A and B are shown apart, each in its own frame.
Chain A
Amino acid sequence: MRVATTGGDKNGPVDGTTSLTGVGPGMVPLPLSAATHLFVRWLHVLAMAVALGGAILAWGVSRVADSETTLAVATTYEFAFWGALGALVMTGIGNLGALAPAIPRGRWGTALLAKLGLLVLVLVGSAVRSATVRAARDAPAPATRTIERGYALTAVAFATLVALAAVMAHG
């Protein structure tokens, strides 16, 4: 990450107070663009943690809990999941933009296309999973086993996406 001074000297603002970029005395201030990139990457990782961790949690609950608890956890997760997925897509493009205009190709590009292809499958599959949870709330005997499998699949898909992201980040 590029780190440069944006004002004052290398010890920060001359009055010793914290600047808008959170720089205190003795710290090297981050330019706003670097702070933005850091925030975008932090949000991307956080969203992935919510999506993957939530899927594992919902899967675990659906294995042991009664249908009422399973559906309550599932409904909560579905709201969180789609928020996290939107944030993942939004910040994923932000991460790509940081590489523009020379976005790599070759092995890196193959991993990116595989990731995007899997993401499209996750999008459609998750829409079906959300529709299943919604319908299950009104079903006389909700098929919680189907929901359990849905969360297991979601967790596996997201673990694969993380693996592809690791390939892209570290080769």
Chain B
Amino acid sequence: MADGDGTSAPAADGASPAPDPLLRWALASFHAATLLVVPLAILYAVDALGSLLQGVHTATGLGLYLALWGLTWWTNGRWLAATRLDGLRETIRPAATWGAVTGVGFLFVLLVAVAVALPDPVFVAVLALVGAPVSALVGAVAGVGFAALDLLIVAAGERLAGAA
């Protein structure tokens, strides 16, 4: 999205236009919060939340969430700069790409946390090797899912505002 004009497109000279700050901030916060709240409810429903939270120190948990939030904000900015949000086909590829980047980026943050807690380079290396393709795939799928949802949200907003 361009700065408030609601019709941004990737610039013809290849330079990325600045995404609308409100849309970027709202969608990034929405994605980060949803990525946490939905699994949290599922984990609690299957009685697996207590044991998971017990192993995470408060400061570590806050740091991980801030990292996810910041990472999502950055990748949403890149994704919004690469799309006009006018159709799933046009949106899906950058969404998958930047979703995968988010997944791998968050894996890297997790690996740093694990490396600090368990200074075992071999274990961390194995975790990185196995986790990288998995996190990229999960991130890409989540990115596409959020892109589809975001398209509906933006369309609903335009209709409600009388701008459609």
Contacts and interface: CB of A to CB of B under 8 A. Distances in A.
B61 interface: yes
A82 B34 contact: no
B6 interface: yes
A100 B69 CA distance: 24
B161 A143 contact: yes
A89 B25 contact: no
Given A131-B23, A135-B6, A101 B34 contact: no
Given A83-B29, A135-B157, A143 B38 contact: no
A33 interface: yes
B118 interface: no
Contact of B54 (A33, A101, A119, A143): A101
Main secondary structure of the interface of B (DSSP, over half): helix
A166 interface: no
Main secondary structure of the interface of A (DSSP, over half): helix
Interface in A71-86: 75, 78-79, 82-83, 85-86
Q: Size range of the interface on B?
A: 35 or more
Q: Size range of the interface on A?
A: 35 or more
A124 B27 CA distance: 10
B50 interface: yes
Interface stretch (B39-47, B89-97, B132-140): B39-47
Contact of B53 (A101, A112, A117): A101
Nearest to B47: A105
A131 B26 CA distance: 8
B62 to A, nearest CB: 6
A146 B47 CA distance: 40
Contacts of A4: none
A126 B45 contact: no
Interface of A: 33, 36-37, 40, 75, 78-79, 82-83, 85-86, 89-91, 93-94, 96-103, 105, 109, 112-113, 116-117, 119-120, 123-124, 126-139, 141-143, 146-147
21 contacts: A75-B22, A82-B30, A86-B65, A89-B37, A90-B61, A91-B62, A93-B40, A96-B53, A97-B56, A100-B54, A116-B41, A120-B41, A124-B153, A128-B157, A129-B157, A134-B20, A134-B157, A136-B161, A137-B4, A142-B162, A143-B162
Given A97-B53, A135-B154, A146-B161, 20 more contacts: A78-B25, A82-B30, A85-B29, A89-B33, A93-B61, A96-B49, A98-B58, A100-B52, A116-B37, A116-B40, A120-B38, A124-B149, A127-B27, A131-B23, A131-B26, A131-B154, A132-B156, A132-B157, A134-B20, A139-B162
A-B pairs with lowest CB-CB distance, top 4:
A131-B157, A135-B161, A82-B29, A100-B53
